[in-house]
Chain A
């Protein structure tokens, strides 16, 4: 166990180190002035340039610069965005929770719909219902998420006028930033019209959440269905049958647990898929999340922001992945190696 933990910690450290080194090297490869790429500031005078160079240790060796970079990363002194001149730490800390909020709800929806559908499909294997479930999952898995979002907008916002198509909440509600989760922030905020703002925020959240939940639901359906089918073919199910248990008893006593356990980590892994899709969908719904922010930074060639944005997103995804992998092996040591679900 300790051995396993050490191995994964080792892996995590090395992965993060690789990411940090890459992000450290980036400003030197980006086009343009290295100093501006590093600091986000265009020096206006030689004195300022010299001061900045000294601050970023550009006059020192590469190791000194790297050491300085590590320090700034740890201290949260991430520099400023080239275009808006605001602190990157602050921008990321506002944008990132917005994405997390979006994927949290999408994950919930996928679990609530995906798992039962997959169960039923797996149990009634090769029946019309199963056929419908499989068709649904293949079709929705094939939807390009950005097209789906556009279809939702066309139908529900423009044609029917039910739901808004951009942002998190009507901007007239001035919700103070606390947790970064808009619904929580509204509930915690000391503001008039709380209920209205909450309702408004829910309306805003529906379409983006559904757009990214679609694909994940399809994936969950397939995982669950496959897993149930595998479990129900197992010998202990036959044994239980021969002992005279009803299908219901068998399913809840043996099937459910054994089918769910192995796929839980697989599902947790889908968080990274959700993040990616959220990044795309955010740009469509003008959702002020990390994806929208990073893609704007790419358009504007805002290198300090690109560097920090990619570091934050990739660190999050990689450490999440490694943690889940570790947990799944710690819980279920019988499994030799993390098996990736083929979708």
Chain B
């Protein structure tokens, strides 16, 4: 008896262990795991400019009125099937798509399809201060605030259920592009009202409902986000049944997991591993010159960094060429101004500060900075195309600055906390950067350095210069690219003279993908997309 029992146990154990090894099962066949670099701050990209948040929500859960073509950046129909711009450039009319369904989830069952009310709700939430949802998540909408869109839009009106009109105070040549960015998502007004009635409005950004190709299933901070395919999605897409974001902060670990097959695609592979990925036959490295800039910003609201001399001295003390080699391993071009050469506003004859520790020390002496002055450099804890390893860069900079008698403490928090503390200006200087959300140069100049971008936190230098602001304003009032270019070049000169930040690099964007899946492309205008990704048979 005992023998029979134990042998049947062994047999069943063998069955469990080996019966299924031969073929891949449904769930792993119909599912895709993406290893992302960090936990999103929320599931509503209106609330955060971090690309982590955009990756996790924007193109998965939501749709926008307009979309960028990932190839050439042209604006294409999204939830709006067509649009009209009045001749004075002040009124935009959008015809909305019919029959678009919101997600039906465990926490919300939609009773109606997408219509004009949802568009109005989504825009008014950040636009109207008295909106019941305006202050629900702190009332900070950094992208829209940094662009000053609140004061651009006059009114959003409903013409009928599927037609919306937006009128502006002043013409804005980048308005349509802004509606196509990751941040201009369309939320469900019906869900919001239901939550308001239940007294839990903050769930709107934690348990999201959208019209996008995937619906939200579950999230555990620092561990995973689970999505499920939105079966009634209005476009015909090939995406997998299940999508999982496996949150893996270490870039080397992400690549390791790609190698063992635990991830199908990874964000920001470590620069050191690029060669390995290229060499392996089962992996593909996607690369694209990025519309981005990595920089070192000084907190100009804190002495002695309010002194342009000090900032210039520190800029002279670091050797950008070595940083490019050591951190980007040569996979980046040296940045002299904010916009990369891919943009039409790029200034190729821009002057640049070289590496000159002697001049740096002299300037520091002039500014009365003592030897052994201590400052901190905040190094962002996540990898980005524009700075794949800020910690390493900070360590290299520490040794350069030590040569001119400046002691550096390197500071790092987890990403969400890091950004919060940056926004309130706790830093002396920070290594961070910016990726374009649309192809317009205004998307660099305005959020990064204008006065109105300080409270929203995208102006990491907390630098405010009226001449600069006037130039950026003037550049938007015209459609003529040559005229705009002149304004931007003059702005470049102000940045050079004042050095609120030191541009370091424009870098390549990378994604590493297993050859088991197809359809992954790098989206140069924002968040990652999985709507057309599928597992190869």
Contact = CB atoms under 8 A, between A and B. Distances in A.
Interface of A: 44, 83-84, 86, 153, 157-158, 161, 163-167, 170-174, 192-193, 195-196, 198-199, 202, 286, 288, 296, 299-301
A296 B246 CA distance: 16
Contacts of B218: 174
A199 B16 contact: yes
A12 to B, nearest CB: 34
A83 B244 CA distance: 22
B3 interface: no
Given A195-B20, A196-B25, A300-B414, A166 B248 contact: yes
B217 interface: yes
Interface in B207-248: 217-218, 220-224, 226, 242, 244, 246, 248
A198 B18 CA distance: 11
Contacts of A286: 248, 253
Contacts of A199: 16-17, 20-21
A100 B220 CA distance: 20
Contacts of A192: 26-27
A166 B244 contact: no
Nearest to B29: A172
B416 A166 contact: no
A301 B413 contact: yes
Interface string B12-48: 0001110111000111100101000000000000000
Contact of B221 (A83, A153, A164, A173): A83
A296 B222 contact: yes
B133 to A, nearest CB: 16
Given A164-B261, A170-B262, A300-B413, 11 more contacts: A83-B221, A153-B256, A161-B261, A164-B260, A165-B257, A166-B248, A192-B27, A195-B15, A196-B25, A199-B16, A288-B220
A161 B246 CA distance: 19
Contacts of A158: 256, 259-260
Given A44-B138, A195-B19, A170 B416 contact: no
Given A172-B244, A300-B417, A166 B16 contact: no
A198 B16 contact: yes
A99 B223 CA distance: 16
Contacts of B260: 157-158, 161, 163-165
Nearest to B412: A299
Interface in B242-281: 242, 244, 246, 248, 253, 256-257, 259-262
A193 B262 contact: no
B411 to A, nearest CB: 12
Interface of B: 15-17, 19-21, 25-28, 31, 33, 138, 217-218, 220-224, 226, 242, 244, 246, 248, 253, 256-257, 259-262, 413-414, 416-417
Nearest to A154: B256
19 contacts: A157-B256, A161-B259, A163-B260, A164-B262, A166-B248, A166-B253, A166-B257, A166-B262, A170-B33, A172-B28, A172-B33, A173-B27, A195-B20, A196-B28, A199-B17, A202-B17, A299-B414, A300-B417, A301-B413
Cβ-closest 10 pairs across A and B: A172-B31, A84-B221, A171-B244, A196-B25, A300-B414, A196-B20, A193-B25, A171-B224, A157-B260, A172-B27
Nearest to B28: A172
Contacts of B413: 300-301
B417 A83 contact: yes
Contacts of B223: 288
A64 to B, nearest CB: 30
Nearest to B257: A166
Contacts of B224: 171
A174 B226 contact: yes
Contact of A83 (B21, B220, B416): B416
A86 B221 contact: yes
Contacts of A86: 221
Contacts of A173: 27
Contacts of A196: 20, 25, 27-28
Contacts of B25: 193, 196
A305 B131 CA distance: 35
Nearest to B17: A199
B382 to A, nearest CB: 14
User: Which residue of A172, A173, A198, A286 has the most chain B CB atoms within 10 A of its CB atom?
Assistant: A172
A170 B246 CA distance: 10
Contacts of A202: 17
Nearest to A299: B414
B20 A171 contact: no
A181 to B, nearest CB: 16
Contacts of B416: 83
Nearest to B217: A174
Contacts of A299: 414
A178 to B, nearest CB: 15
A87 B221 CA distance: 12
A264 B222 CA distance: 39
B249 to A, nearest CB: 10
A191 to B, nearest CB: 9
A203 to B, nearest CB: 9
A185 to B, nearest CB: 15
A257 B154 CA distance: 88
Contacts of A288: 220, 223
